Amino acid sequence: MQLLLEPVKKHQRQRMESVKVTSLTREQIVSAYVDMLGSARVLTDDQTLKDNSADRYYKVERIFGIYSLPLPAAVLKPGTPAEVSQILAFANEHGINVVPKTGGSATEGGLETVIENSIVVDGSGMNEILSIDVENMLATVQCGVCLEDLENELRKLGYTTGHSPQSKPLAQYGGLVATRSIGQFSTLYGGIEDMLVGVETVFPNGEICRIKNVPRRSAGPDIRHLVLGNEGALNFITEVSVKIFRYYPENNRFYGYLLDDMKTGLAILREVITQGYRPSVARLYDQEDGLYHFKHFSDGRCVLIFVAEGPKPIADATGAAIEEIVASFDSAEPVDGTLIEEWFNNLNWDVSKIEEERVEIRDTLINGFTTEISGNWSVIHDIYVNAMARIRSEISADFSLLGGHSSHSYLNGTNMYFVYYYKIDVDPTLELSTYHDPIQNIIVEETLKLGGSMCHHHGVGKHRTHFLAEEYGSSLYMLETLKTAFDPNGIMNRGTIFPLAK
Ligand SMILES: Cc1cc2nc3c(=O)[nH]c(=O)nc-3n(C[C@H](O)[C@H](O)[C@H](O)COP(=O)(O)OP(=O)(O)OC[C@H]3O[C@@H](n4cnc5c(N)ncnc54)[C@H](O)[C@@H]3O)c2cc1C
Taking Cα atoms as reference points, which of 108, 95, 119 lies closest to residue 3? 95
CA 7 / ligand 1 centre spacing (Å): 34
Q: What is the pLDDT of residues 217-275, one digit of tens each?
A: 999 999 999 999 999 999 999 999 999 999 999 999 999 999 999 999 999 999 999 99
Taking Cα atoms as reference points, which of 135, 125, 224 lies closest to residue 177? 224
- The minimum-distance atom of ligand 1 relative to the CA of 238 is 41
For ligand 1, atom 14, which residue shows the shortest CA distance?
A: 167
Q: What is the pLDDT of residues 443-468, one digit of tens each?
A: 999 999 999 999 999 999 999 999 99
Give percent helix, percent strand, percent coil of the chain, each to the nearest 5: 40, 20, 40
Distance, CA of 219 to CA of 199 (rounded, Å)? 16
Q: What is the pLDDT of residues 42-60, one digit of tens each?
A: 999 999 999 999 999 999 9
Contact 164, 154 (CB under 8 A): no
Model confidence at 495: pLDDT above 50: yes
CA 496 / ligand 1 centre spacing (Å): 13
Give me the chain's average pLDDT, please.
94
- The minimum-distance atom of ligand 1 relative to the CA of 182 is 11
290-to-285, 334, 392 alpha-carbon distances in Å: 5, 15, 18
Model confidence at 78: pLDDT above 50: yes
Contact 492, 232 (CB under 8 A): yes
Q: Is 164 in the pocket of ligand 1 (CB under 6 A)?
A: no
Q: Is 109 in the pocket of ligand 1 (CB under 6 A)?
A: no
Task: Tell me what pLDDT residue 18 has.
Answer: 54
Model confidence at 4: pLDDT above 70: no
Mutate to test the pocket of ligand 1, among 102, 170, 353, 491 (most ligand atoms within 8 A of CB): 102
- How many percent of the chain have pLDDT more than 70? 96
Distance, CA of 486 to CA of 183 (rounded, Å)? 29
Q: Is 201 in the pocket of ligand 1 (CB under 6 A)?
A: no
C-alpha 137 chain-centroid distance: 25
CA 423 / ligand 1 centre spacing (Å): 26
33-to-76, 77, 83, 121, 230 alpha-carbon distances in Å: 8, 10, 10, 11, 25
Q: Is 52 in the pocket of ligand 1 (CB under 6 A)?
A: no
Model confidence at 301: pLDDT above 70: yes
Residue 75 parent element (H or E): strand 74-76
Task: Tell me what pLDDT residue 12 has.
Answer: 38
CA 142 / ligand 1 centre spacing (Å): 15
- The minimum-distance atom of ligand 1 relative to the CA of 164 is 8
Q: Is 103 in the pocket of ligand 1 (CB under 6 A)?
A: yes
CA 290 / ligand 1 centre spacing (Å): 25
Residue 32 parent element (H or E): helix 26-37
230-to-77, 180, 223, 356 alpha-carbon distances in Å: 20, 8, 12, 31
- The minimum-distance atom of ligand 1 relative to the CA of 201 is 42
For ligand 1, atom 31, which residue shows the shortest CA distance?
A: 175
Neighbours of 42 (CB within 10 A): 21
Lowest model confidence (mean pLDDT) among 96-100, 352-356, 367-371, 418-422: 352-356
Task: Tell me what pLDDT residue 482 has.
Answer: 97
Supply φ then ψ for residue 456, to 5 degrees.
-95, -45
* Position 502 confidence tier, pLDDT thresholds 50, 70, 90: low
285-306: average pLDDT = 95
Mutate to test the pocket of ligand 1, among 179, 194, 203, 492 (most ligand atoms within 8 A of CB): 179
How is residue 121 annotated by DSSP?
E
CA 407 / ligand 1 centre spacing (Å): 18
